[in-house]
Amino acid sequence: MANHPTTQAIHSPVKEDVSVNYITSPKGLMSWLTTIDHKRIGIMYLWAVLGAFLLGGIFALLLRIELLTPKETIMTAETYNKVFTLHGVIMVFLFIIPSIPAALGNFVLPLMLGAKDVAFPRLNLFSYYIYVVGALFGITAMVTGGVDTGWTFYTPYSTTTNGQVSMMVMAAFILGFSSIFTGINFIATVHKLRAPGMGWFQMPLFVWGMYSTAVIQVLATPVLGITLVLLMLERSFGIGIFDPAIGGDPVLFQHFFWFYSHPAVYIMIVPGMAIISEIIPTFSKKTIFGYKAIAFSSVSIALVGFLVWGHHMFVSGQSNLASVIFSFLTFLVAIPSGVKVFNWLATMYRGSITLEAPMLYAISFLLLFGIGGLTGIFLGALSVDIHLTDTYFVVAHFHYVMMGGTVIAFLGGLHYWWPKMFGRMYNERLAQIGCGLVFVGFNMTFFTQFVLGSRGMPRRYYNYLDQFQALHAFSTVGSWVLGAGLFLTAGYLLASLRKPYDAPRNPWGSRTFEWETQSPPITHNFDFDPVLIHGPYDYRPEKKG
Amino acid sequence: MSETTHTTTHDNHDANQPKIYAAVLGALLILTFITVGASKIQFGSGMINVVIALTIATIKASLVALFFMHLIHDKAMNSIILVSSFTFLAVFIGFCYTDASTRDDLKPLGLKVKAPAVAGAPGATPAAPPAPAEGHHN
Amino acid sequence: MSDTAAVVHEEHSHEHHDSSLQHHFATYEQQMDAGKIGMWLFLATEILLFGGLFVGFALMQSKYPEAFVQAHHHLDKNLGFLNTVVLLVSSFTMVMAVHCAKTEQRKKVLVYLLITLACAAIFLCVKYFEYEHKIHEGLLPGKFYTHVGDTVPHQFVFFSFYFMMTGLHGLHIVGGMAAITWIFFRAKKGDFNHQYYTPIDLVGLYWHLVDLIWIYLFPLLYLIS
């Protein structure tokens, strides 16, 4: 069996022939549709979630255009309600939850571990097809009348209104299983398929993040499943659990819903943080500061994140005692996130920093997630939340963490691993411009919304008071800048795929396993047997000779 | 890396298993009898009956998990997975119950409610509250 | 601990082709361990799925305690007890089947699997009779509840949960029977031996979970007063 390629070979300017890789071989559409190769499955997920992002993004742009004027601009109120509901449903269930785990995680995780595939490759393909079926249900619900309940489906409106609630809920139910099976696969893979020499504390932190996320996916998503089933049954058969008109408890629905949906936001952010933990050491050429602290903080966020869901329910009619407990626990769950941010900063301190696009996205993450996380604390304080809940302040908060956090990290990871996945380098100058446009546009759109919210603008409102118009208009223009940045990014990334293969094995000089194989990798990942020789963040100069 | 080889201890372990399984089945059946018996006795408040029933159920579940599902011989991770799922279920019900049992009665002053219809079918809704009394904000 | 050697070495195997060891695993032991973790994780999701129904049941019971007490008197404790015994026996025969697969007693595997299937079928028959009785009395979930003569309202909620919980459990029994049937045919073909009996072990784990759920369902639905 071949030995590890030498450092020389990895950075060698001599072009190696990568024409035989997981993309080109085996050939044919059927070979893709029946693949059990984690890399191909990851790529199929990638196009699917990017398509969902585009659709959800178009809905967002339409919403912002409607909000240019206080009254009707381009759509009726009923349509507006449907558009913000669909924006939420698509972005949460079709894009952001699967995005990093299923698209990037599937591709990178086995490579990082030195494995040939995930633990259950056929289950992996199955989970992809479940995603497709769920997406089809969702699209059908959209085009046959849509839903206007908000993505949170609160009862009793959702149990009594017309519209395609049951079909949309069924879509989310099906998509949940895709998430569960991905989680099961990753946990088993991390336990059993690490290369020799790679103990738990020699794994890259991206793996710790994906593992913690998988734990949440496995434990939380089934509760969403049963919640949606109960919702459908309440709608169809009046079983009497959520609808107050027949003796049910609508607050109970919120407990059921948020028991999943709060941990779900950690399914969204922990993978994003995991990517940042890879990018920052690589582009600082310095070992990560506080490896164990970051590793344990991922696990802590996953576990403590199960204890705070009631902070979405402070004004729901929930008891004061429960609210106080949830508020206290919400403050606790912020601590591990803070630990990470400080460790990343300490990693950068006195590092050899270069500012390629992945690093620009990582730095953007630090700023935007910082704001997003901090405003979460504001909202976690009971007295403050009474005034800010259901205003644009909340909308701004979650867009800062979900978009300024997860999506920015996703883009950073996409740029970081693009050469590995596709064997091509993208245009770096355009990438930096794109990142700048996204950063500026994002802040224009959403910082404004903190101001709107604190001044009393309610969320999900179609009409609003004249005094808010200037800020709304500014936010809308921001959405155009943001959109331009994203379209530019899509443009140069797709254009890169038309170039010949030009990416070396390790363009960024990183120290994790995936960079030791060719770009793009062969189907079986490695043409040698991976054995751990150095740590994943070991940037000490290698001994020559 | 050891391959699975037959050793004497391995053989004995395998040979003893059926006896252990039979003993566990016996225990499970006995516990089932006890559960039914205990449910016929009123131990004061209904809550105690619930606790007893759930305790016995948990003992039965533990026997199934430890012996029929081999957790007693298995790697610790599998036990951790099982215990975690129950733990988080306990968190779920614990917090929900805390909320439900400590909610204030939010009915407004002066509310008159008709007695609910006897049929108990979902169609019989309680009467809507009359026009709000003064000072009532809703 | 790293027991994951990346180099495949020759396994001391009987005459069967190597497709039972998947390409990304180095040893049968690694494959078995991974399969077990995967199945236990799946069982955890099932516990949380059913758990949601248990939580809903518990909270609605605390909201309408009288109604739930009245309603549960309509359930036949003896039939519930019989079903409990039947499932416990089926768990025993299932684990015996796994044991015989591991110790390569092929005929016994088939016998034990058949008995397990028979027990499952008995369970479903009993449930059928129970459901038939409920339908006859109008003790149905939600808006279908037509039982007359209730002194306490909201009993329909109990039956909503009764049918949801036993119905979902019944669906899992049917799924389990399908899985056991598949295992039966694989065992008949001679697929299993002392180093490869993973599929029957994993189906066994699933079957025991179905039993576990009933262990909790029985007292909560039939016995608590």
A373 to A88, A404, C32: CA distances (angstroms): 20, 10, 42
Measured between beta carbons, the chain A residues lying within 8 angstroms of C165 are none
Q: What ipTM was predicted for this assembly?
A: 0.94
Could you check whether the bond before residue A26 is cis, i.e. omega within 30 degrees of 0?
yes
- pLDDT of C2 above 60: no
Percentage of residues of chain A with pLDDT beyond 90: 94
Q: Which of C41, C63, C142 sits opposite A187 (nearest CB)?
A: C41
Contact C143, C129 (CB under 8 A): no
| Mutation target among A160, A318, A325, A329 for the B interface, most CBs of B within 10 A | A318
| Mutation target among B83, B87, B95, B107 for the A interface, most CBs of A within 10 A | B95
Which amino acid, residue B85?
Answer: S
Handedness of CA C75, C79, C82, C87 (dihedral sign): negative
Mean pLDDT of A271-289: 97
- Nearest CA to CA, how far is C143 from chain A (Å)? 5
Distance CA(C131)–CA(C82), nearest Å, equals 15
Q: Which long-range contacts (CB under 8 A, 24 or more apart) does B3-8 make?
A: B3/C11, B3/C12, B3/C27, B3/C29, B4/C28, B4/C29, B4/C194, B4/C195, B5/C12, B6/C194
Q: CB–CB of C215 and B60 under 8 A?
A: yes
Q: Which of A245, A255, A320 sits opposite B96 (nearest CB)?
A: A255
Mean pLDDT of chain A: 95
Q: How many residues does chain A have?
A: 545
Residue A534 in any domain: the answer is no
Which residues touch C74 (CB under 8 Å, ≥6 apart)?
Answer: C134, C137, C139
Contact A217, A267 (CB under 8 A): yes
Interior/surface letters A343-352, b for 16+ CB within 10 angstroms, e for the rest: bbeebbeebe
Reading chain B (138 residues) residue by residue, the pLDDT tens digits are 444 454 556 667 778 889 999 999 999 999 999 999 988 888 777 788 889 999 999 999 999 999 999 999 999 999 999 999 999 999 999 999 999 999 876 666 666 766 655 544 454 444 444 444 443 333
Is the pLDDT higher at C48 or at A11? C48
Residue A22 in any domain: the answer is no
Which amino acid, residue B43?
Answer: F
What pLDDT was estimated at residue B16? Answer: 86
- Nearest CA to CA, how far is B95 from chain A (Å)? 7
Q: How many domains does chain C have?
A: 1
Residue A536 in any domain: the answer is no
What pLDDT was estimated at residue C12? Answer: 39
Measured between beta carbons, the chain A residues lying within 8 angstroms of B98 are 319, 321-322, 325
Highest mean pLDDT out of A283-287, B121-125, C8-12, C152-156? A283-287
Q: Which of B4, B46, B120 sits opposite C152 (nearest CB)?
A: B120
- Nearest CA to CA, how far is C150 from chain B (Å)? 6
- pLDDT of C16 above 60: no
Question: Domain span at residue B104?
Answer: 3-108
- What is the CATH classification number for the domain harbouring C169? 1.20.120.80
What pLDDT was estimated at residue C8? Answer: 34
Residue C34 in any domain: the answer is yes
Q: Which of B92, B102, B125 sits opposite A319 (nearest CB)?
A: B102
Q: CB–CB of C160 and A194 under 8 A?
A: no
What pLDDT was estimated at residue B8? Answer: 58
- Nearest CA to CA, how far is C90 from chain A (Å)? 27
- Nearest CA to CA, how far is C17 from chain B (Å)? 18
Any chain B CB within 8 A of the CB of A194? no
**DSSP per-residue codes, C33-61:** HHHHHHHHHHHHHHHHHHHHHHHHHHHHH
What pLDDT was estimated at residue B120? Answer: 46
Question: Domain span at residue C190?
Answer: 28-222
pLDDT digits (tens, 9 = 90+) for A9-37: 555 555 788 899 999 989 999 999 999 99
Gyration radius of chain A over CA positions: 23
Residue A539 in any domain: the answer is no
Contact A193, A261 (CB under 8 A): no
Which amino acid, residue A128?
Answer: Y
For chain C, positions 129-158, list CB contacts with chain A under 8 A.
141-144, 153-154, 156-157
Residue A538 in any domain: the answer is no
Measured between beta carbons, the chain A residues lying within 8 angstroms of C23 are 116-117
Residue B114 in any domain: the answer is no
Is the pLDDT higher at B4 or at A413? A413
Could you check whether the bond before residue A244 is cis, i.e. omega within 30 degrees of 0?
no
Q: CB–CB of C52 and A223 under 8 A?
A: yes
**DSSP per-residue codes, A387-455:** HHTTBHHHHHHHHHHIIIIIIHHHHHHHHHHHHHHHS----HHHHHHHHHHHHHHHHHHHHHHHHHHHT
What pLDDT was estimated at residue C14? Answer: 43
Residue A187 in any domain: the answer is yes
What pLDDT was estimated at residue A298? Answer: 97
Contact A52, A70 (CB under 8 A): no
Residue C192 in any domain: the answer is yes
Task: Give alpha helix (H) positions in chain B.
Answer: 8-40, 46-63, 76-102
- pLDDT of C5 above 60: no
Residue C8 in any domain: the answer is no
Mean pLDDT of C163-181: 97
- Nearest CA to CA, how far is B21 from chain C (Å)? 7
What pLDDT was estimated at residue A226? Answer: 97
Distance CA(A343)–CA(A353), nearest Å, equals 16
Contact A424, A499 (CB under 8 A): yes
Which residues touch A519 (CB under 8 Å, ≥6 apart)?
Answer: A18, A419, A420, A423, A501, A503, A504, A505, A507
Judged on CB neighbours under 10 Å (0-12, 13-18, 19+), C148 is exposed
- Nearest CA to CA, how far is C85 from chain B (Å)? 7
What pLDDT was estimated at residue C37? Answer: 97
- Nearest CA to CA, how far is C48 from chain B (Å)? 6
User: From C83, which residue of chain B is nearest by alpha-carbon distance?
Assistant: B32
Measured between beta carbons, the chain A residues lying within 8 angstroms of B1 are none
User: From B98, which residue of chain A is nearest by alpha-carbon distance?
Assistant: A322
Structure tokens at A61: 């742009």
Q: CB–CB of C56 and A256 under 8 A?
A: yes
Residue C16 in any domain: the answer is no
User: From B76, which residue of chain C is nearest by alpha-carbon distance?
Assistant: C37
What pLDDT was estimated at residue B41? Answer: 84
User: From C2, which residue of chain A is nearest by alpha-carbon distance?
Assistant: A196
What pLDDT was estimated at residue B117? Answer: 54
Interior/surface letters A431-460, b for 16+ CB within 10 angstroms, e for the rest: bebbbebbbebbbbbbbbbbbbbbeebbbe
Measured between beta carbons, the chain C residues lying within 8 angstroms of B118 are 150-151, 153
Distance CA(A466)–CA(A69), nearest Å, equals 8
Q: How many residues does chain B have?
A: 138
Contact C49, A203 (CB under 8 A): no
Measured between beta carbons, the chain C residues lying within 8 angstroms of B84 are 44
> Closest Cα partner for A253 from A235, A268, A265, A269?
A235
- pLDDT of C152 above 60: yes
Distance CA(B98)–CA(A90), nearest Å, equals 34
Q: CB–CB of A230 and C56 under 8 A?
A: yes
Distance CA(C130)–CA(C137), nearest Å, equals 11
Q: Which of A307, A317, A322 sits opposite B106 (nearest CB)?
A: A317
Residue B103 in any domain: the answer is yes
Which residues touch A116 (CB under 8 Å, ≥6 apart)?
Answer: A110, A193, A524, A525, A526, C23, C24
What pLDDT was estimated at residue B130? Answer: 43
Residue C4 in any domain: the answer is no
B51 to A404, B38, B43: CA distances (angstroms): 48, 11, 10
Q: CB–CB of C156 and B57 under 8 A?
A: no
What pLDDT was estimated at residue B10? Answer: 62
Q: How many domains does chain A have?
A: 1
Distance CA(A195)–CA(A199), nearest Å, equals 9
- Nearest CA to CA, how far is A225 from chain C (Å)? 7
Neighbours of chain A (3+ CB pairs under 8 A): B, C
Q: CB–CB of A219 and B88 under 8 A?
A: yes
Mean pLDDT of A110-131: 97
Residue B37 in any domain: the answer is yes
- What is the CATH classification number for the domain harbouring A440? 1.20.210.10
C111 to B15, B69, C107, C115, C219: CA distances (angstroms): 19, 20, 6, 6, 31
Mean pLDDT of C95-104: 96
Residue B99 in any domain: the answer is yes
Question: Domain span at residue A159?
Answer: 29-515
Single pTM value for the model: 0.92
What pLDDT was estimated at residue B13? Answer: 76
pLDDT digits (tens, 9 = 90+) for A198-210: 999 999 999 999 9
Measured between beta carbons, the chain B residues lying within 8 angstroms of A200 are none
Could you check whether the bond before residue A156 is cis, i.e. omega within 30 degrees of 0?
yes
What pLDDT was estimated at residue B45? Answer: 75
Which residues touch A121 (CB under 8 Å, ≥6 apart)?
Answer: A36, A37, A38, C22, C24
| Mutation target among B2, B4, B63, B125 for the C interface, most CBs of C within 10 A | B4
